[in-house]
Structure 1
Amino acid sequence: MVTIFDVKKAFNESLKKFTGIEVASKQVDENFDTPVFFTEMEIISSSALNKTFQENNVRLRAIYFPKIEKDQADMLKMIARLEECYRLNFYVKDRVLNVKEIEYDIDEENGYLIFTFKLSYLIAYEKEKYDFMENVEINNK
């Protein structure tokens, strides 16, 4: 079963693996080494479809600060790299999830890139197990 935590962890690990760039904690104030990624996950919806299946829709966001402040060329190269990594599939544990709606934006004033995509996936829960009745005794009076 894939949890929300698993999705966020896989995102952070894949960013580091594909780019070689550290993923920092959001608690970092203004003094951080670049290049660096910060990540966010937004749960768009989570709903039970029935007793067995639940559908989760999430948005994953990577915020990239290049080594040289406001380096537009580096940010454009990073967009191409991230699109290549996430354009079709996203791997979480033993699952392959379909990537939807890739978006990106370069904040020229503050000098960072925002790369976003959505995922939709199902979680299957095991059916409840019951003990079968072995003997039934009926007392008719």
Structure 2
Amino acid sequence: MITLKVISKAIATQIKQGLINTSYSTVDFSSTDIKEEIKRPCFYIDFFKNKTGKFNASNKERTLTTKLYYFATNIRKCKLELMEIQDLLENMFLEGLKVNDNFIVNIDDGIEFDIDKQNGFLAATFDLYTVEEIPEDESIPYMDSLQIN
């Protein structure tokens, strides 16, 4: 199963790889709550809406609303930096989110960006829709393995 922790790590990995040859290659991710003091510049990933249920008898579906924050280096001089990060993020997720070699999630409805120049951050919001197989419980005997004496 693909966990929220795995998805969060995949987002961070994809961003870090996308920033390798840019002036933002050293920007890190904050793991603390954004209500606390944050070290700028940094990214922060938050999942704020998750709808999960059965798709059918053997599959689970999930719609996960994700918000990615980027806190600019300088609150007072952030306009160009936030525009550059927005451009980079737009291109990084055009092909979706690669969770692993066998699991790539498309971002069909696109990414919505909000820039808060007063507080010096960019917020990118997008929905991830996944359908994955529910692993079989080995302890439950199925009809094909049921033995009748």
Note the C-alpha offset of 1:16: 2.6
Task: Say whether 1:43 aligns with 2:39.
Answer: no
After superposition, what is the alpha-carbon deviation per residue over 1:91-111, rounded to whole angstroms, capped at 9, x for unaligned? 002311111331000012211
Q: 1:60 aligns with which of 56, 63, 66?
A: 66
Measure how far apart 1:59 and its partner are.
Answer: 1.5
After superposition, the Cα gap between the structure-2 partners of 1:127 and 1:27, relative to the gap in structure 1 and judged at 3 Å, is: closer
**Greater than 3 Å deviation, 4+ residue runs:** 126-129
Secondary structure (helix, strand or coil) at the match of 1:99 reads: coil
TM-score (ref. length: structure 1): 0.83
Quote how far apart the aligned CAs of 1:127 are: 4.3
Q: Note the aligned Cα RMSD (angstroms).
A: 1.9
Question: For residue 114 of structure 1, what is the aligned residue in structure 2?
Answer: 123
Tell me, which stretches of 5 or more residues in structure 1 are unaligned?
Answer: 137-141
How far the C-alpha of 1:66 sits from its partner, in A, is 1.4
Q: Residue 74 of structure 1 corresponds to which residue in structure 2? A: 81
Letter in 1 for 2:100: K
TM-score (norm 2): 0.79
Q: Distance in 2 between matches of 1:17 and 1:60?
A: 19
Residue identity matched to 1:7: I
Q: Which has the higher strand share?
A: 1
Q: Is the 8 A contact 2:75 2:118 kept in 1?
A: no
1:100 to 63, 85, 108: 108
Larger Rg: 1
Equivalent residue pairs, number? 134
